[in-house]
Structures are given as structure tokens and as C-alpha cells.
Structure 1
């Protein structure tokens, strides 16, 4: 399914007959919300990191909220100038960004334990691996609080569908895109786990890192373990790596907007679906994405919890969109789903087989759906309870995400169902028979398309 529509297209194909447009609409809007909040949430963290570095270098400097917002605007503007370039340039940027993140990871894992100035350098095993090391920053029991902590995990471990949205711009997409999705998840574990171990063993004062004067955990962590100069240097490397992540979020988000706009699924679609004649990329969609993120950044003036809702919305919206096509594949499409098959000779000797998970496909799907159904409600709870709960520390995730999705569904029920026929087909599927190669156009979502579009 090599299309920039990604999850939205998959839901339309896998849904029961007649339900394709609605499945695509719900998945599309949830994925749109998740991708839309990415540049803001990553950019907000990055802006705070930059200003924290300034505060470390100049202890008299006091970070103000408007400083963070102006830094966010500057980053969004500069990032837009970079990511509006041609696909060839963007591809090179992604490669450079990947290497920067890998190098930063290796430096962090080696430098932090070797250069630690605190004594003793490492926490004992019973603190790292048992409840002795738990610091509950909520009013909930430690077990429930631990589950709430998965927000940072699933927010970081997301964006699996980014290769899906870029598949129209890469060669050999039927292999390259799924391979990138699987490698992203695997490398996130193999490379991320050593980072977590280093943080757990080297930290000396968890409360100072999480809620210290700097207000930025990674900056406080580097400063606490390595000292002022070395800590600032390590923190600066993290900032550069984080900026590369920001660029990736912007690119993926712009392709989501572009793909949905081609099917008129978003307000103002006629502008966002235009492709720039010079760069051959959806520049209008990209700047629309950045403009929305600039507006979302204004939430930081309300309260830290309000801007924090952007992180929660991004995580919940993304995982909801990830799970819908998986659930459809396990239920409505369980009899008609066709895994990728190896191409016939002589192509078989030239190209690798199209990707599929084989016998692990269904177990992985059931585990994924069960996990998402379990964890998403937990992430909507506030950290405070009882008398400590007020308007400033309330968790507004369900209100914002639920409100937007409710409006999207209302729009579909009142008007969009009359004209929205699902994603337009832009790929010719090739069917190979026994012996001779037979080519035919497979109209997967024909019942969702008008005769004119067909």
C-alpha cells in the first residue's frame, strides 16, 4: 500500500464493505492530530533545552515563558525553510540526522558513566532494579503511577508510520517502507535501553533532575553527573540530536496533511494539496502544519499542564490511528488480507521479497490492540487527586482530543458522508498468475469512489 495516506488508506482498504470512508475518516483525523502536535511538542522541549543551556552558561539568566515561545517560533521558521526543499535534499537531511542521533547516543552512553564527578559514580543494583529507586511524583499508588509514566515511552516510541507517508517519494517502497517501520521499533529498543540504563545508574538525585531549579530534566541530569562545563557540552550534543528529530516530525506531518487534502478531507484542502513546481514537494501543507503548531505553542502561557496536553494528545492520537488498521486486519479483513508475496523470477533474484511478519503477524496484532486499549485510558488521568486537583493541574487530554474527534465525526455525519468517498487510488497493483505475468488494475476501494474519480 505505497501511498502517502498511510494508515488512513490502509483503514479504507481493510474496513468492511461500505464502511471504508468512515474508517478512513476516523483514522485520518486521529493521525492528523497526532502528527500535527509533533513539531509543537518536540519544538517546545527543544526550545526549553536551548534556554536551559543558556541558563547553565549564565546562572543569572531566568527563563521566561515568552522566551520559550519566541524560540519555538524561530525554530519552526528555520525548520520550515529547510524541510520545504526537494525530496533529494530532505533524504540527505534525514541521513545526516540519523547519524547525528547515533553518534550522540554513543557519546552519551560512554561519556556519562566515565566522566561522572559524583561519588559513588553508580547507583547500586537494588536501587536501579527494585522499588527502592521509585520516586512517585503523583498522588496515585505506585503501581498506577508507573503505568502513567508510560506516556513518555509511547510518545517517544511513536511515528512508526512516517515511512508510510514518505513511500511515494522513495524507491522500492513495498520493501523500504515496512522495513523502516520494523527497524524503527527494534532500534528504539536496542539503542534506547542502554541510554535508560546509564540514566538510572548515574543519577544521584532524582527529584533534583525532575523538579529542580532548571526545569529541564536532561539539562539537570547532565549538569548533576558531569559538572558544569562537561555537562553543558553533553547537553549541547543532545540539543543538536533533538533538532534532527524536529525536522523529521515536520516532514512526516506535512505529508499527512498533503495526503488527506488530496481527498478533500481537511478544511482548505484545495490549498494544502498543491505541490510546489520548483521543489515538487507539498510546501503549502508544510507551512500550514507549522502555522498550526505555532498556535498550539500558545498553550504554554496557560499552564505547564496545558502545554503538556499536547504531548498526551500526540501519543494517544497516534496510537489510536496505529491500532485501527491493525484491528481491522484482525477482524473485518482476516479472510481477505493478502500478505506480501515474493515476486516471480527473474525479479526474485534481483529484489528482496515484499515484507510481511508471517506467523507473528496476528499475535503481534492482538498484543498491540490489547495494549493500546489498556494504556490509553490511563494516560488521560491527572497526576493529582482529591483536594490537590484544580483547574491548573487537570489533565485536559481527553477534552481536547475527544472534542476535536467529536467535531470531526459531527462534520462527517452532517456533511462529509455525502461527498467523502475515501482515499483516491493512485497506485496500480500488479497481480502475478501462474507462469505468465498478468497485469490488471485492482480497484480496492471502488465502492467508495464516484464514477468520475474512478
Structure 2
């Protein structure tokens, strides 16, 4: 993706790359698949992140006051409040947004390092009659299934969490038109975001694996937030609240970043008249020089989507799974086209992978082709599978896209 950004640094980003790189006659279809997937991933990003942040905030309140049990309407209202705050922040001038992002990114890295140190240093497992850390044999030798499928499939299905948390690194692509030296700065930001996030995320997973007491208890806790429930298992209350505070602030900045990226995607699509009333959403505010209308359009759509909270955890979880899969389809489609249809005819920008470009693109494409069907599977099978436990991701993601394609004859070759 960083290569594509360096070659074509535009707010449209991925869908523009797909249209340009696609074989003659296939540009509209490639752009539509990428554009729909990217917009769906972006539009669900801020709501899902803010939903997680709100749930974690209310879980912290429950830890302080065990009699407090968060209700759905409280989660919804707090999430909407975060959405509105982020919309205001995303409407500010670009220089102000840059300063906020610089602070937020720095804070998130520092907070993650502190958490990585704080959890193993402060764990109270020994006070519970357990060893300070779970043995490596148990950590690496036993697989927590989590689903009714065989262990191998369950492991692959667990990637949904990783894909969701690693799905925001295309943001610099969509902000390319608002930064200087975009052909180098934006791809560098994409690379550093994914590399740093992936590395520190791996270490966090190791910390959790070596300290967690009971995975089922964390998932089924009345707190309604598995990470908060895990912290309660392994840390004293004051340390739990300190870690949660850092995590909540980090989540706040993450949600703000998602809101900005999504608004720039909507602006770029409206600029190409992809939406109804595009003339409204593509307007740039004369004072802030930012697409304020697109920001508030996304905010409105997000607040409507958040009504899924009242449908229960499965319905709310749809925001996570759909957004994650859609994002990775959007990321990989132009890479797939570049690798298998363009090859050496691709004109790289100043930031590129050189001879490693094609092999890395092949691996990335193969991974997504494997994972998309896996992540559409339900967690249960047989008699346990009902309408309530079914995974409707493929229908919600693919249904509207297919209907609109048929209605507007998007796939017709020209």
C-alpha cells in the first residue's frame, strides 16, 4: 500500500489506484469493489473504536462501583458524545489537526510501552496462589479453541481482532493531499504505523498470554469489556484503573484518527460524484480548508449505525467484523491488480520496495484470499447455529454492493 501511495498520493487513495491499475475495461468494477470496501471499513472505524472506548470507560466505573451496571443507552450516549467530539476535532484546520495527531500518536506509543511494563511488573497472580507467569509450555502448547471448529480454523478466525486493530494504517494515504512531500511522507507514515503497531501489538499479546488467569471468565465477565475483565484478574484495582485510563485516552485518539481518515475518503468519493448529494459532501469549508460537510455526514451515519448497540453484543460486533474484512479487501484489491496484472509496468514513486515488491504483494494477496472466507464463518456449528449466532458479515458486506452493482451495471466492461 505504501508503494501505491508514493506513486499516486491522493485522498481517493485505494479506489483511485484500483481504477488506474486495472486492465482496460475493468476499471469501474475494480474501483467499485475497492471503493465500497474502503468506505465501509472507514465509516465503521470511528463508531467501533468509540464503542470500545465507551464500553471500557463504563467498565472502569463498574470496577470502582460494583453496584453500577452499564445499560445499553448509557453506552450509546457516551459513544455518540465521543463521535461528536471527534467530528468537531476533524473539522479543524489541517495544521491544528496535525498538532493533535502528533500528540496523540506520541501518547499512544508511550502509553503502550508503559502498559507493557506495568502489567508484568504489577501482576498479583502470586497472591492468588498462581505462578507469577504462565509457563511457556502452556502458553505455546495449548490452543484455546473459542469456537466449535477445529483448532486450526479457530486460530485463523481469531485474526479478526488483529485485522481490526491493524486496519487504520491507510489514513496517511487519504491525508496525502493535506501534507507536504506526500510521495515520501505518506508512505513512510503507513510503513511506520503498521511496523510499530504490529511489533508492540505482538508484545502486548505475549504479555496477555503469559499473565491471563482465565480466558472464558474474561470473555463472559459482567463488566462487558474483556480487556478490563482480564486486567481485574491480574492486577490490583488501582493499577487496573491506571492501565484503563491510559487505554481509554489512547482509544480516544485512535477514534479521532479514524474520523479524520473516513471524512477524507467520503470527501474524495463525493468529489467524484459517487454519493447522492455529492455537491454537498465535497464542499471544503472556506475558513478551515477542511471537508467539514463530509465529517458531519460520516458522524450522522455512524450514530445511526451505533443503534445496533440496542440489538445486543452480536449486532454491535458486526461493526467490528464487517469493517475489518472490508478494510482488508480494499487494501488488497489494488495490490492484487498491481502484482498480477501490471507487474513490471508499474511506475513506482520515490518510496518503493524494489525487488521485494512482487513477492510481498503475492504473500499479502494470498493471506487475504485465505482469511476473508474464514472470517465470515460463525463461531458455532450444528444444532448450536441459530439466527442469533449466525455470522451475517458476508450478507451485510456483500449484499448492498452486489445490489448496487446490478442496479447501476457497474461491472459492464467498456
Same fold (TM over 0.5): yes
Structure 1 partner of 2:203: 194
Verify the 8 A CA contact 1:303 1:392 in the aligned structure 2. no
Aligned equivalent of 2:132, options 111, 121, 135: 121
Tell me if structure 2 keeps the 8 A contact 1:305–1:394.
no
Superposition map of 1:137-216 within 5 A: 137-216=146-225
Contact 1:39–1:293 under 8 Å retained in 2: yes
Which residue of the partner structure matches residue 329 of structure 1?
A: 338
Corresponding residue SS for 2:347:
coil
Describe how 1:301-316 pairs up with structure 2 within 5 A: 301-316=310-325
Match of 2:10 in 1: 3
CA contact (8 A) 1:8 1:25 kept: yes
Q: Where do residues 47-446 of structure 1 align in structure 2 (5 Å cutoff)?
A: 47-119=54-126, 120-131=131-142, 134-340=143-349, 354-413=350-409
Which SS does the other structure have where 1:5 is aligned?
coil
2:343–2:358 contact (8 Å) kept in structure 1: no
- Aligned-partner Cα distance in 1 for 2:276–2:39: 12
Shift of 1:335: 4.3
Matched, 1:39 2:35: no
Note if contact 1:25-1:265 (Cα within 8 Å) is conserved in structure 2. no
The normalised TM-score by structure 2 is 0.94
Residue 333 of structure 1 aligns to a residue whose secondary structure is: helix
Could you tell me how far 1:213 is from its partner in structure 2? Answer: 2.1
Following the alignment from structure 2 to structure 1, what is the Cα–Cα distance between the partners of residues 408 and 46?
A: 27
1:212: Cα distance to partner?
Answer: 1.6
- Could you list the structure 1 runs, at least 4 aligned residues long, displaced by more than 4 angstroms after superposition: none
1:22 positional shift: 2.6
Q: Distance in 2 between matches of 1:36 and 1:266?
A: 14
Corresponding residue SS for 2:86: helix
Post-superposition offset of 1:34: 0.7
Q: Which of structures 1 and 2 has the larger relative contact order (alpha carbons within 8 angstroms, sep 6+)? A: 2
Is this contact kept in 1: 2:166–2:198, CA < 8 A? no
Distance 1:162 1:411, change over 3 A: farther
Over residues 400-427 of structure 1, what are the superposed CA-to-partner deviations in whole Å (9 max), with x where a residue is unaligned?
001121133124317x979xxxxxxxxx
> What are structure 1's unaligned runs of at least 5 residues?
341-353, 419-447, 449-454
Distance 1:92 1:80 in 2: 16
Q: CA deviation at 1:18?
A: 2.7
CA distance in 2 between counterparts of 1:214 and 1:71 reads 16
2:5 corresponding residue in structure 1: none
TM-score using structure 1 length: 0.86
State the superposition RMSD in angstroms.
1.6
TM-superposed deviation, 1:19: 2.3
Q: Look up the SS of the partner of 1:275 in the other structure.
A: coil
1:83-127 CA-partner distances (Å, limit 9, x unpaired) = 210100110111111111111111111111111112122111111
Counting matched residue pairs gives: 403
Once the two structures are TM-superposed, the CA of residue 46 in structure 1 deviates from its matched residue by: 1.0
The answer to which structure has the higher helix fraction is: 2
Residue in 2 that maps onto 1:443: none
